[in-house]
Structure 1
Amino acid sequence: MKVIIATPVYGETISTGCHVSVLDAIRFFAREFPHIGFTTHVLSTSFFPMARNVLASLFLAESDATHLLFVDPDMSFSPELVAKMLAFGKPVVGAIYPDKGVDFEAFRTAMQRSTNALQGQLQSVRYVYDGDAIVGRKGKDGKTEIDVVDGFVRVTRAGTGLLLIAREAFETIQTKMPEMWIPEPKEWLRKMGLGEGSGYIQCFDMVPGEDGSHTGSDIAFSDRWVKG
């Protein structure tokens, strides 16, 4: 098994937390799971959807690579989480993490109930595709039931801040959506690192919505994967 850690960055900037997390993960797997290899790709650009497409294409060009792990440059994580995501064994596995927004009214309410500032912070941040994305079913009492397997639930969308994608997921998209694959990309794409003979997958391209606005690359990929 070989995992490529891919990070799209803006202005060639990566946070300390992200840098330390990646190094910790590589050291952890070398010690605990030496049969799992890691390499890294970092691409600096102002347009993340294209960066994710290029990084995914670089991954596909490495025939021995089995998984692509997207890690945003501001993301911190534990090595054990990555091990758990790999062990779950699904083609696409994401993680719950907070976005950059804070609900200060929720923080005030939380601190009225507790003096633990960290707990208050956890209760006041918004999370990327939390309850709205979870797939549930109606129970006998009419309430929604959610199946939790090894700490994971099924969702319709997941953020790309920490997202594990197996090779088979990209191959499925290539087969079912051939328009997503460009076998001979233009020269300007090759200048971003694609070698001769490498194709270009564009499954992170944004999609226009009914109102004319475009979805993010995470929603675009998730929707394509779910529909595929």
Structure 2
Amino acid sequence: MNKNTNSVNIMSMPTQEELCIKILEYVQNHSPKLYILTPCFGGVCYVNYVQSMIATLELFHQFGFPIQFEFCKSDSLITRARNNLIAKAMADTEMTHVLFIDNDLMWNPMNILKMILAEKGIVGGIYPLKKYHWSRLVGEDLSKTRSRCADELVVDDQNKIEEWLDKRNQSVLKSYVPDDVMIQSRLLSFNVNHLGNHLEIDDNLAKVRHIPTGFMLIQRSTIEKMHESFAETKYTDDVGFLTQEENKFAYALFECGVREGHYFSEDWMFCERWIQLGGDIWADVSISLTHTGIEDYRGSYLASLL
């Protein structure tokens, strides 16, 4: 990931009532249908995921917004699982959007609707990696602190936390980031690659180079354009996941590969292909996601930028 000196511009935070009005209008005018796609090898989804899924189904039902979940539970090859899930969704001519959500994430379902309203070809939320960087509390490598007494380290910890909170308090966004979220997010790294050292945010959206597929929304028109432009990636499903009709939409858009001497994962490569066609990759920095591992890594990407 890139290390950036970020410039965060003032964002507009719509009220819940404003969002609801926009969503109702969108559903009425566009007749959308969302597919949520989740690869889950071994057939396992975390409780946090299931709770979010139930809340999402309830919310979409309230707005009369058709939604369908699809799972790939038997494929250990994540690239094929993602490609096959897209093919299954594309076979439904009423589908307008697909949203990949990994089985170890927890989300606020309203954020899905916010991304749909953004009307971007590819947009996603940024979630934390499953590792705390405790050295950030003392501003140095923890392996170098052994010669220092515990009292000194406690003072450093407190000073660093106060520094983070002071910086948050100077921001116009201070009311959106509680103390605990600010501290936790500063100890985490986030799964995103920026375009440069300046991150410009407009209406919660920032143009970036790569976002992870774990919470990525893709418009149908984006996939159709990529199918046309990367026709050489057409393949036949050999694992029996797709029907004959669904197999017509099987394209290996998610592939690992080497670009500029770097090994790219399937999500980075997918983003690169869209950029190659003149598209943009967007991140909604207002979305907070919890990444479940040996504990819940609750991260606000917005807080990490302050």
TM-score in terms of structure 1 length: 0.84
Identity %: 23
In structure 2, which of residues 95, 106, 115 is the aligned counterpart of residue 65 of structure 1?
95
Q: CA deviation at 1:102?
A: 1.7
Structure 1 Cα separation of the partners of residues 94 and 181 of structure 2? 42
User: Which of 1 and 2 has higher RCO (CA within 8 Å, sep 6+)?
Assistant: 2
- Partner residue in 1 for 2:67: 38
Structure 1 Cα separation of the partners of residues 88 and 138 of structure 2? 46
Q: Does the Cα contact within 8 Å between 1:135 and 1:153 map onto a contact in 2?
A: no
Matched, 1:133 2:186: no
Structure 1 pair 203–223 and aligned structure 2 pair: CA distance change class (3 A): same
In structure 1, which of residues 202, 216, 220 is the aligned counterpart of residue 265 of structure 2?
216
- Partner residue in 2 for 1:9: 40
Q: Does the Cα contact within 8 Å between 1:135 and 1:154 map onto a contact in 2?
A: no
Question: For each residue in 1:28-85, what CA deviation from the matched residue of structure 2 results, as whole angstroms up to 9, or x when unmatched?
Answer: 1211x21x21001010221111100100111111111111010000011101110100
- Partner residue in 2 for 1:19: 50
State the SS of the aligned residue for 1:12.
coil
State the SS of the aligned residue for 1:168.
helix
Q: CA deviation at 1:134?
A: 4.1
Kindly report which structure 2 residues correspond to 1:141-180, keeping only aligned pairs within 5 A, or say none: 144=198, 146-180=199-233
Q: CA deviation at 1:107?
A: 4.4
Unaligned stretches of 5+ in structure 2? 1-31, 140-155, 163-178, 278-306
1:167 corresponds to which letter in structure 2?
R
Structure 1 pair 2–119 and aligned structure 2 pair: CA distance change class (3 A): same
- Partner residue in 2 for 1:50: 80
Q: CA deviation at 1:214?
A: 4.0
Aligned residues: 210
Q: CA deviation at 1:10?
A: 2.2
The RMSD of aligned alpha carbons is: 2.0
- Partner residue in 1 for 2:254: 204
Structure 2 Cα separation of the partners of residues 135 and 214 of structure 1? 20
Q: CA deviation at 1:208?
A: 3.0
Q: Does the Cα contact within 8 Å between 1:107 and 1:121 map onto a contact in 2?
A: no
Structure 2 Cα separation of the partners of residues 21 and 134 of structure 1? 31
TM-score in terms of structure 2 length: 0.64
- Partner residue in 2 for 1:140: none
State the SS of the aligned residue for 1:153.
strand
Q: CA deviation at 1:118?
A: 4.2
2:185 corresponds to which letter in structure 1?
L
Structure 1 pair 6–134 and aligned structure 2 pair: CA distance change class (3 A): same
Task: State the structure with more CA Rg.
Answer: 2
